[in-house]
Amino acid sequence: MLDEGNDSKARAAAVRWARWRLGPLGFADLITRVDTSVLRYGRLVTRYAVRTGTWAEEAYAGGANTARHSRSTPPVSLDTLDLWSASPEALAEQSSHLAACRDCHGAGQVACPTCRGSLRARCSGCGGSGRRMSRARKSYRMVNCSECRGNGTKKCVRCTKGMVGCRPCRGSGTLRRWLKVATVERTQVRAWPDPKALSAHKGLLEDSKRALQWPGARAIASMEHLGPLPDSALEEEARSAGFLAVRSSLEPGFEPLRGKILSQTLDVFEAPSATVCFEFADRPGFIHLLGRDLQPTKARDTSAFHRRVGALMGVAMAGFFALPFLVSAFIGRHAFYEDPDRSGLAMLAILGLWPGTWWWAATALRRRRVGAEKPPARWHDRIGIGLTGLCALVLAGCFLFIRPSVPELVRLTAAGQLREAELHADLLEAGGESSPEYIEARNAFVLARIRGVDNRDAVKLIRHYVGSGKGTGPLEAERVKLREAWARSALERGEEEPVEAELAALSSERAPPSVMDALRATLEDLRIAKGKAALEKGEFESAIQFLKRVQAPALASERPEPLLARAYLRQEHACPARDVRCRATALHHAVTVDPGEASRTALASFRTAELTRLARAAHTPNAPGPALRELHAADEDATALLSILEGDAELTAARSLLLGRREELLRDRVPLGEPLEVAQALLGPSGLEMQRSDVFRVVDAPAGTLTYLFVGQGTTRGLYVTTPDHGHAGLSPASLQVAAKRFAGQEFSAKDLMHAGKGVAHVPVRLGRHAALLGWHDDTLVEAQIGRVEP
């Protein structure tokens, strides 16, 4: 069966395999030895079954009372029982026995899971707390649960004397148990001597007929036997193939008394084989081939190929990341190097480095051998190093010899090629060039470049080249002219912001003062003209804004102060009559800007009128409610006036009179039973928070209380006191006494704050001239109502 041409066929098959596995070119030169032989091998197909046993059980409902059925222990032991000794039905019959239930221990009853034997279950109406929310008359109070009467538990209706029937045994206390046997059939296919070396044989490791029909091998023996294959039935081909030595490793493994071999089939084959040995990348390796066509198998040592693929992938990835780095290293230096005439050659050189380095690494790996000897070099082995060296030289030349020059800048400027000249000038400026030739060429280029360019772009171009400060006088003078022209055009359009920006820039650039003063004077005249126009139209706010922006009144043709004072006086006339802050602010600004007779007279007249009004409010004879409202409004006006006219002694005295009158009205008064204005004055500006039109919550209530004031016809008629955690916590008597003293001026007697009884009760008491109602739950104080409290 071994042909004379198997050696050359093995070499050709190995070369084909290496080509499809990304192997190196010239793999045939790396082969060191080819060993051919005829291989005998085989496979063993074993069909077997495995039984598993588990105990099944069910509630015993009565039946034959034989000795076997009445045993309390199983008649067989599962660990020592041979599950193949009988059929599953017979084993179930033999192992059937009665046993006491594990849950009830044979009693038939277990403790009730609802009440746990106590005969009392948690109430479902209140969740076991004994309390629930009452919605009667919308009071929303916590009361005793009507189902359990406040106990939280009630009689359990699911059990009898705390016991219920056991579910697993259905109340009988006895279970019938028997052995349940399950059988699973499996098939195992094993081959020898080496499954990897036989992987080319299709269907060999499968229970398939293809193994007998594979054209690469010849079946020399095949035998099948029910049960284990006896050694006496083995043919000579199986013995010579070494089956007896490896049989123990081909047999399936299962537990004794559980598994059983049903049948075994043994097939023995014969096929040509070859082992091709090679040396690559400083490592030896081999490839095993099988069959008439010598197909490669999985039995091989090709780690050198994997190392080669990894190394080449590493080189490829390194080149992928190195390309943008080299490109940015050349182009990123300056826009000068982005010119296609200069960067095109550098880009080609960078792109050529990637395949050149990869080819060089592949060639170096192919020529490495275990010994010192290397295979002869071929012509394409020099492509990688040649391409890499050439691209590296070109790239180095691009870095070293592509430079800008002053003569080229002069030539391009004279020829009108200003875009190309800008690249040379920009790079020379960035490099710190300061020769007289360069300064003259640069100034000529910049003056030529700004012709026909937008004003802003021309200023940016000049600012870029005047940073060095060497020979930049002509450029700075041209920049001043450009900024002045831009500011003049903005003034003609009536725009102020561009002019201010240009003035700030001229100041930072140290422009001549005459230019800046002329622009500033024109700008201030524009603002005064806008202010006068707005004043004539009656737009006082706009006029004030225009006139306040005047920064250099001395340079303007007209003083802005009289105009600004007149605008403030007209603004004061436009303010609402009762808006004291607006009028006082306008008059104060008018006097501050221009302390003339008109301004001072208007302010004095306004001040006299306000002092008279405050004095009249301090002596008002009205009732407490209206009087407090009028005093509050007057105090706000006095505070506003003092914030503007600071240090005014007469205003301070008038406010003191207002505060004294307020204290006089509030003396010996309490919030309850008084006008709402009195309560608000006593509790402070943030003391009350409206809940609805007749109910106010006291924000700063006594500690541990929730307090509400009830109002009717503008008078506080009732007080309601409870706790923030109403229904879960009681009201402290000490906190109630503090609230009563603060809001009614009285305290409850000691006997009123004591109660003995059960359930919910409302006890009427007296608090001075007010009727009160105290809410109790058992002996816990829950709430208090003083005066008239609406539900």
Question: How many Cβ atoms from other residues are within 10 Å of residue 171's Cβ?
Answer: 16
Note the helical H segments in 37-116.
Answer: 88-95
Closest CA to 59 of 100, 90, 95: 100
pLDDT at residue 99 greater than cutoff 50: yes
pLDDT band at 289 (very low <50, low <70, confident <90, very high): very high
> Phi and psi for 458 in degrees, rounded to 5?
-65, -40
| Span 2-29, pLDDT tens digits | 566 788 899 999 988 888 776 677 778 7
Q: Give me the amino acid identity at 70.
A: S
Angle between helices 497-508 and 473-492 (to 10 degrees): 160
Q: What does the alpha-carbon distance between residue 369 and residue 374 come to, in Å, rounded to a whole number? A: 6
Which residue in the block uniquely carries the two structure tokens 């990304």?
A: 22
| Span 348-361, pLDDT tens digits | 888 898 888 888 87
pLDDT at residue 68 in the model: 40
Mean pLDDT of the chain: 86
| Span 50-85, pLDDT tens digits | 999 999 999 887 754 333 444 456 778 888 888 999
Side-chain-facing half-sphere of 257: CA atoms under 13 Å: 10
Bridge partners, 706 (sequence order): 722
| Span 177-204, pLDDT tens digits | 999 999 999 999 999 999 999 999 988 9
| Span 666-704, pLDDT tens digits | 888 888 888 988 888 888 877 888 888 889 999 988 888
| Span 257-273, pLDDT tens digits | 899 999 999 999 999 99
In the 8-state DSSP scheme, what is residue 151? S
Q: What does the alpha-carbon distance between residue 779 and residue 303 come to, in Å, rounded to a whole number? A: 91
Looking at residues 388-395, what average pLDDT do you find? 90
Most confident range, picked from 155-159, 630-634, 731-735: 731-735
pLDDT at residue 342 greater than cutoff 50: yes
- Residue 318 tokens read as 């390194």
Q: What does the alpha-carbon distance between residue 395 and residue 397 come to, in Å, rounded to a whole number? A: 5
Q: What does the alpha-carbon distance between residue 144 and residue 147 come to, in Å, rounded to a whole number? A: 9
| Span 716-743, pLDDT tens digits | 999 999 998 887 888 999 999 999 999 9
626 membership: H or E segment, kind and range:
helix 624-644
Distance of CA 399 to the CA centre of its chain: 46
pLDDT band at 375 (very low <50, low <70, confident <90, very high): low
Cα–Cα separations (whole angstroms), residue 613 to 538, 606, 653, 674 = 30, 11, 13, 27
Q: What does the alpha-carbon distance between residue 156 and residue 166 come to, in Å, rounded to a whole number? A: 18
Strands 218-226 and 174-192, sheet pairing: unpaired
Bridge partners, 278 (sequence order): 31, 285
Handedness of CA 300, 306, 309, 311 (dihedral sign): negative
**Domain residue extents for the chain:** 110-162, 305-403, 571-667, 670-787
- 591 touches 568 (CB < 8 A): no
- 195 touches 201 (CB < 8 A): no
Q: What pTM did the predictor assign?
A: 0.47
- 716 touches 671 (CB < 8 A): yes
Closest CA to 721 of 713, 711, 729, 735: 735
